[in-house]
Structure 1
Amino acid sequence: MSMRDVIVATIGRAHGLRGEVALQLRTDQPEERLRRGASFTVMVDGQQRTLTVARTRLQQDRWYVAFDEVTDRTDAESLRGVDLVIEVDEAEEAAEDPDAWYPSQLKGLPVRHIEDDRELGVIVDVEHYPAQDLLVVRAATGRRVQLPLVTQLVPEVDLEEGVVRADPPGGLLEELPEDQQGPEPETSQPSRKR
């Protein structure tokens, strides 16, 4: 059984006078991970603290949480920037959703072309956006390229083999041959007032 630390959220600014804080979520399961009674061990100013979720609420697309141990705004402000981390069982998580991976599992993996297995680059980061996640790939050309993590472009992620296979559009992760580069862009003349 392999366990992994996962950041659920980062504590943001204090909200109100009774110790409630805003959260920047890092999970797609906030209702489960932040349920009443969930406990987090955190480091605050070099001291270890336990925070127990008393209640959560969603207001205008932002999550707020109150902890049993935090009763005033001053204490809440001291938590700003603290990560709420849980330990998860990788095997259990993989069984629930085989097409979900943690960024730490993907970083450092080579990206190979699905057709001929040539190396296209290495994953250096994963960025999360509302539409989809993006793999940040250091291409063989040296450029950093964002590759959408969608089945059409990334049909295979094989953690056991330690490789990601992709079918990117020509020119995204590699230089196009001259016969496929298209026409040179036209130079435009500056507009003149007539």
Structure 2
Amino acid sequence: MQLVVARIGRAHGIKGEVTVEVRTDEPELRLGPGAVLATDPAAAGPLTIETGRVHSGRLLLRFAGVRDRTGAEALRNILLIAEVDPEELPEDPEEYYDHQLMDLDVVLADGTEIGRITEITHLPSQDLFIVERPDGSEVMIPFVEEIVTEIDLTEQRAVIDPPPGLIDDRAEIASSRDDAAVDGDAGTGAGDGDR
């Protein structure tokens, strides 16, 4: 199975290094020296990582055969793809590869069906499950522990405990200020009528 593990950014310096946008939780495993990666577009690869280092919080890579800034710039926006065994699991038992989560059924704790995961979006602050509902509509579920309470790969399901309004159109709003406004209006109306 092939997984996108990075996107090549701009050239760094004049000796063929490039910045990369890392798209894997295990860069030390997937993007280490000696790794041979397929590319998208395929004609640009395969690329072999010669060196890697972190500079100012960014991962810099140099590929075999790329020795100058011109060669590095030619690689910009190319996706790096690693071959991964579909049975391989992340080292941390609380982490999952995207392919493990795709097509899982999404249910509430009581078993109510919400839909199935059709896409996973990686945002800087959190990941989102894009869930297709039985009626064909989609809902976005933040992949955070407070909402996604269980991932059961054996049963092929994700159990969620969504806050009000996340998966339905009718949010349950309980606000003491709203209650006070209603009570206050009723009191004013009664007072005006007594005069």
1:109 corresponds to: 104
CA pair 132-165 structure 1, distance change in 2 beyond 3 A: same
**Superposition RMSD in Å:** 2.8
The separation in 1 between residues aligned to 2:4 and 2:40, in whole angstroms, is 13
SS class of match (1:6): strand
Q: Is the 8 A contact 1:12 1:80 kept in 2?
A: yes
Spell out, residue by residue over 1:105-149, the C-alpha distance to the aligned partner (whole angstroms, 9 max, x if none). 32333311112x111233232222454322233456876443222
State whether residues 12 and 22 of structure 1, in contact with CA within 8 Å, keep that contact through their aligned partners in structure 2.
Answer: yes
Given the two structures, how large is their TM-score scaled by the length of structure 2? 0.75
Q: Quickly say closer, same or farther: Cα 1:73–1:131, change in 2 above 3 A.
A: same
Alignment of 1:1-194 (within 5 A): 4-42=1-39, 44=41, 47=43, 49-93=45-89, 96-115=91-110, 117-139=111-133, 144-176=138-170, 180-182=172-174
Q: Are the equivalent residues in 2 in contact too, given 1:139–1:174 (CA < 8 A)? A: no
TM-score (norm 1): 0.76
CA distance in 2, matches of 1:23, 1:150: 26
Structure with a larger share of its residues in helix: 2
| Secondary structure of the corresponding residue to residue 91 of structure 1 | coil
Q: Which runs of 5+ in 2 are unaligned?
A: 182-195
Residues 141 and 43 from structure 1, CA distance in 2 versus in 1: closer, same or farther, beyond 3 angstroms? closer
Percent identity, aligned pairs only?
39
Post-superposition offset of 1:173: 0.6
Any idea what SS the aligned residue of 1:97 has? coil
Quick check: 2:6–2:22 contact (8 Å CA) kept in 1?
yes
Q: Which has the larger radius of gyration?
A: 2
Distance 1:133 1:142, change over 3 A: same
1:133-167 deviation digits (Å, cap 9, x = unpaired): 22233456876443222333212222333221111
Structure (1/2) with the larger strand percentage:
1
Deviates more, 1:60-69 or 1:106-115: 106-115
Count of aligned pairs between the two proteins: 178
